[in-house]
Structure 1
Amino acid sequence: MTETPNPHIISTDTLTGEMHPIRRAVVALGSNLGDRMASLQGAVGALADTPEVWLTDVSAVYETEPVDSPPDAEKYLNAVVLFDTTLSAARLMDRALAIEDAYDRERSEVRNAPRTLDVDLIVVGDRRSDEDWLRLPHPKAHERAFVLQPWYDLEPDAAIPGVGPIAELLEKADRHGVARRDDLTLDLQ
């Protein structure tokens, strides 16, 4: 794992006096089982309640066709959340898994099986990791329109470190089956 935080943006941990870099993080949310909107809103709320996480924006909700899923999989609702944090990527991954578990996410041997909630770390600053339990940037985000489109709506000039600008990546991505749902909105909390 490598990490190169911006040394000019820091916050102080008031308990220890240690300096922790503030990083921009992007999280993709998805649900295609149960009350999909309740699961997405619950995930936004859980992220907002996380110490050392400051939500800055949440995207529109998109309804999307499942990608690489079993044939009977229902459509997903997807959104992207942007936040600033002083937490490490490992702590954020633990939090993402805990939020999924709180919404009864069942893990399966079936690849891309339907799920009540998916909370994926897409980028955490310029952090890179190739560990089995943590891959940053997310290895498939650059080809997933259901991640790129909502992220682009919020930050059209953003880039995936080491991959490229999301505007260019979105142009190359298959947008078939990705529909904005203006009748559904998530509250930032």
Structure 2
Amino acid sequence: MATAYIALGANLGDPVATVNAAFTALEALPQSALTARSALYRTAPVGIEDQPEFINAAARIETALAPEALLDALLAIEQDFGRIRALRNGPRTLDLDVLLYDDQVLDTPRLILPHPRLHLRAFVLYPLADIGPDLRIPGRGSLAAWLPAVANQGIVRL
């Protein structure tokens, strides 16, 4: 079994209910077990600023799914929640991203691990710190070392 960390985010409809329902969907992933979930965080949008605030969280799972099979399962959950990919960084019903998969470094046309921008975003680092305060990001060092760099980004723990 591998340990994977997943980012969850939503800003359309009822994003709190959506993220909580997404945790339930993660519990049902085949060959996997949800082992931790972060608090929920309210965050300002990045990129396209004229959209509702986001609710973000992180999950830790133990999984026998290979990285790209896990990605496929997450994309299927997004689709079940009505995700439409119209604009990069635009509003969404649900966004699920594989952030880390063990200590694996991977760069394929479909998946880059660790997630290439996870160390730059408060909406990823703070929820991750809830469930893995001692995490190390391959090629980047400790998660804790990156928290001060994103401390000025708008984020509120709910």
- What TM-score do the two structures reach when normalised by structure 2? 0.95
Tell me the residue number matched to 1:54: 33
Tell me the residue number matched to 2:92: 115
Tell me the residue number matched to 1:40: 19
Instruction: Provide the aligned length of Structure 1 versus Structure 2.
Output: 158
Q: Which amino acid counterpart does residue 29 of structure 2 have in structure 1?
A: T
For 1:103 and 1:50, how far apart are their aligned partners in 2? Answer: 15
Question: What whole-Å deviation, never above 9, does each CA across 1:132-181 have from its counterpart, x for those lacking one?
Answer: 21111100101111110111122211111121110001122244210001
Q: Which has the higher helix share?
A: 2
Runs (4+) of structure 1 exceeding 2 A deviation are: none
Q: Calculate the aligned-residue CA RMSD, in Å.
A: 1.1
Gaps (5+ residues) in structure 1? Answer: 1-21, 182-189
Tell me the residue number matched to 2:81: 103
How do residues 1-189 of structure 1 correspond to structure 2 at under 5 angstroms? 22-69=1-48, 71-108=49-86, 110-181=87-158
Larger Rg: 1
CA contact (8 A) 2:59 2:131 kept: no
Q: Which amino acid counterpart does residue 32 of structure 1 have in structure 2?
A: N
CA contact (8 A) 1:29 1:120 kept: yes
Q: Percent identity at matched positions? A: 42
Give the C-alpha shift of residue 59 in structure 1: 0.4
Q: Which amino acid counterpart does residue 18 of structure 2 have in structure 1?
A: S
